[in-house]
């Protein structure tokens, strides 16, 4: 019976499959783009991947996803204590290899399931091969016979792979990872976000954080698909959010594809031509331009579904006077109307909402909107319908040709954080005529 079980497991590993392989010979620094350094220091030079630090656990994680069945093969030069880590959520399987002790072990979530000696070559590279599926892990060291270990019941499919080094500085000469799916089920286990986009977003974000916005944009743009039939290609939400963030900080990037055509399609003009804005590019936003009945009033309103946000753009005419507060105070909009009107509005909103506190006191900000100096405040207060929730109001004021413009954003503090990229884009692309 045990023999039959072993044969069935071997056949399962050998079942006809489709898939793809990724081979790294470590002769180019660009190969490290497919990896994320989680701990330690790793570098590529002269055809080798080196762990140049010597910590208790140094980790280099493969950025790509695994499929439920697959293989990993590596060539290790020199001595060292290493492991191939296969993970799913918080669960982890380690295939440990200690060349100096000539022992290989398999651990499931920290519990040893197998430990064996192996015949280590006196010199040259040592090969380690690991194959896995939903039922078992198969390990082959050098020319030894394969070792098979049944996985614990109800083990989730592996989704990530990493190379580990334990208090040693190993050198790898080659790594090959194969992702396999049964024929007829190509794409099984694929991420909702296209993998190339996801990796490009990670690398571009790192480059942006290092201060290279143009380099981040070019790297991301190269990974995006070309559109068809005159339509822009569908992009994952992380890619859209990063494009917005880059376009918000660098105006010249908004003039390059893929932002140029998307921004043009999302541009909305005021009914009287006094202003334009570019709606955030993420799905879920709606925008309306209002008829201007008088010379003052709401010009645009925008709404976002999840998280819930409301944005209003209001114009106050310089020739009119306005009343603010429960005990109305008259404020004129002309001349210094921008900061004067904005301060009166801030005091009024605090007065109108019970227990409201300023999270940003009214004052001038470094932020410029449409090339104009901006004043701003932010208030927060308990939601009367649910005191456990908080409502926040952030308002920007700018003076243009005597008129004061107010941009109001209302939602929860968490919504502000989740939609930060959208709000930065909206403020960066708002334009006043003339």
Query: Comparing C-alpha atoms, which of 422, 420, 372, 429 is closest to residue 396?
Result: 372
Residue 141 is given by DSSP the state E
> What pLDDT, on a 0 to 100 scale, did the predictor assign at position 187?
45
54 and 167 both lie in a single domain: yes
Instruction: Decide: 178 and 25 in contact? Cβ < 8 Å.
Output: no
Q: Give the C-alpha distances (Å, rounded to integers) separating 70 from 133, 143, 419.
A: 7, 20, 38
| Residue owning tokens 């010979």 | 25
Residue 31 is given by DSSP the state G
Res. 359 pLDDT band, cuts 50 70 90: very high
Res. 10 pLDDT band, cuts 50 70 90: very low
Chain segment 26-59, per-residue pLDDT in tens: 988 889 989 999 999 999 988 999 999 999 999 9
**For the ranges 93-107, 121-135, 226-240, which has the lowest average pLDDT?**
226-240
> What pLDDT, on a 0 to 100 scale, did the predictor assign at position 269?
96
Res. 332 pLDDT band, cuts 50 70 90: low
**For the ranges 56-65, 326-335, 410-419, which has the lowest average pLDDT?**
326-335
Dihedrals phi, psi of 217, to nearest 5 degrees: -65, -45
162 and 226 both lie in a single domain: no
pLDDT top residue among 399 and 318: 399
Residue 4 has which token pair?
Answer: 């039959």
107 and 174 both lie in a single domain: yes
45 and 10 both lie in a single domain: yes
Chain segment 178-202, per-residue pLDDT in tens: 998 765 444 434 446 788 888 999 9
3-state secondary structure of 81: strand
Res. 3 pLDDT band, cuts 50 70 90: very low
User: To the nearest whole number, what is the mean pLDDT of the chain?
Assistant: 88
Indicate the residue among 186, 207, 238 that finishes a domain. Answer: 186
- Predicted structure pTM score: 0.74
Biggest alpha carbon–alpha carbon distance for the chain: 94
Query: Comparing C-alpha atoms, which of 75, 179, 50 is closest to residue 129?
Result: 75
What average pLDDT does this structure show over 99-114? 94
> What pLDDT, on a 0 to 100 scale, did the predictor assign at position 19?
78
Indicate the residue among 149, 164, 186 that finishes a domain. Answer: 186
Instruction: Decide: 178 and 62 in contact? Cβ < 8 Å.
Output: no
**For the ranges 8-22, 157-171, 252-266, 320-334, which has the lowest average pLDDT?**
8-22
Q: In what order do the strands lie in the sheet with 275-278?
A: 267-269, 275-278, 431-432
What average pLDDT does this structure show over 295-319? 91
48 and 162 both lie in a single domain: yes
349 and 407 both lie in a single domain: yes
> What pLDDT, on a 0 to 100 scale, did the predictor assign at position 6?
39
User: In which domain, by residue range, is 235 found?
Assistant: 191-265
222 has pLDDT over 70: yes
241 and 275 both lie in a single domain: no
> What pLDDT, on a 0 to 100 scale, did the predictor assign at position 157?
94
Query: Comparing C-alpha atoms, which of 125, 119, 66, 115 is closest to residue 95?
Result: 115
What average pLDDT does this structure show over 148-175? 94
399 and 273 both lie in a single domain: yes
259 has pLDDT over 60: yes
Distance of CA 175 to the CA centre of its chain: 27
261 and 271 both lie in a single domain: no
3-state secondary structure of 227: coil
Chain segment 393-420, per-residue pLDDT in tens: 999 999 988 889 999 999 999 999 999 9
255 has pLDDT over 90: yes
380 has pLDDT over 80: yes
Indicate the residue among 186, 202, 230 that finishes a domain. Answer: 186
> What pLDDT, on a 0 to 100 scale, did the predictor assign at position 182?
62
Res. 234 pLDDT band, cuts 50 70 90: confident
114 and 62 both lie in a single domain: yes
In the chain, pLDDT over 90 holds for what percent of residues? 69
* Burial class for 11, CB neighbours closer than 10 Å (0-12, 13-18, 19+): exposed
Res. 336 pLDDT band, cuts 50 70 90: low
> What pLDDT, on a 0 to 100 scale, did the predictor assign at position 81?
95
- CA angle, 293 then 296 then 299, to 5°: 75
Instruction: Decide: 404 and 397 in contact? Cβ < 8 Å.
Output: yes
Interatomic CA distance for residues 342 and 405, integer angstroms: 9
301 and 340 both lie in a single domain: yes
> What pLDDT, on a 0 to 100 scale, did the predictor assign at position 96?
96
- Facing residues of 87 across strands? 92, 160
| Residue owning tokens 């799916």 | 181
Query: Comparing C-alpha atoms, which of 275, 277, 262 is closest to residue 231?
Result: 262
The number of domains in the chain is 3
Dihedral angle computed from the Cα positions of residues 185, 108, 64 and 43, in that order, rounded to the nearest 10 degrees: -150
3-state secondary structure of 246: helix
> What pLDDT, on a 0 to 100 scale, did the predictor assign at position 402?
85
Rg (CA), the chain: 30
Interatomic CA distance for residues 38 and 60, integer angstroms: 6
CATH of the domain at 297: 3.40.1000.10
98 and 11 both lie in a single domain: yes
CATH of the domain at 27: 2.60.120.200
Q: Per-residue DSSP letters for 47-68?
A: TEEEE----SSEEEEESSPP-S
């Amino acid at each position: 019976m045990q023999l039959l079980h072993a044969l069935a497991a071997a056949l399962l590993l050998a079942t006809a499959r489709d898939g793809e392989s990724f081979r790294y010979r470590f002769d180019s620094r660009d190969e490290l783009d497919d990896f994320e350094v989680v701990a330690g220091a790793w570098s590529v030079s002269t055809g080798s991947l080196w762990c140049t630090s010597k910590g208790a656990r140094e980790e280099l994680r493969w950025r790509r996803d695994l499929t439920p069945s697959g293989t990993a093969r590596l060539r290790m030069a020199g001595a060292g204590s290493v492991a191939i880590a296969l993970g799913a959520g918080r669960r982890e399987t380690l295939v440990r290899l200690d060349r100096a002790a000539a022992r290989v072990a398999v651990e499931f979530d920290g519990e040893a399931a197998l430990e064996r000696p192996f015949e280590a070559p006196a010199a040259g590279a040592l090969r380690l091969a690991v194959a896995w599926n939903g039922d078992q892990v198969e390990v082959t060291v050098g020319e030894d016979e394969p070792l098979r270990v049944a996985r614990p019941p109800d083990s989730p499919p592996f989704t990530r792979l990493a190379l580990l080094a334990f208090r040693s500085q190993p050198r790898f000469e080659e790594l090959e990872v194969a992702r396999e799916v049964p024929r007829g089920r190509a794409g099984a286990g694929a991420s909702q976000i296209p993998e190339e986009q996801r990796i490009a977003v990670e690398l571009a974000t790192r480059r942006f954080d290092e201060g290279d916005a143009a380099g981040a944009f070019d790297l991301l743009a190269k990974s995006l698909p070309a559109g068809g039939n005159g339509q822009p290609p569908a992009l994952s939400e992380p890619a859209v959010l990063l494009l917005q963030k880059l376009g918000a900080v660098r105006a010249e990037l908004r003039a390059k594809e893929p932002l140029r055509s998307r921004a043009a399609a999302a541009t909305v003009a005021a009914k009287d031509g006094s202003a334009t804005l570019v709606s955030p590019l993420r799905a879920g936003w709606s925008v309306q331009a209002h008829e201007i009945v008088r010379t003052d009033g709401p010009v645009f309103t925008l709404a976002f579904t999840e998280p819930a946000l409301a944005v209003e753009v209001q114009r106050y005419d310089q020739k009119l006077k306005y009343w603010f507060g429960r005990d109305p105070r008259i404020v004129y909009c002309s001349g210094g109307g921008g900061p004067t009107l904005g301060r009166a509005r801030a005091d009024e909103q605090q007065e109108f909402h019970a227990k409201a506190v300023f999270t940003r006191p009214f004052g001038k900000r470094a932020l410029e909107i449409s090339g104009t100096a901006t004043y701003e405040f932010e208030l927060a207060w308990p939601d009367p319908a649910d005191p456990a929730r908080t409502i926040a109001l952030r308002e920007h004021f700018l003076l243009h040709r005597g008129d004061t413009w107010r941009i109001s954003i209302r939602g929860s503090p968490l919504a502000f954080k989740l939609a930060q990229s959208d709000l930065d884009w909206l403020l960066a692309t708002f334009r006043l005529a003339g």
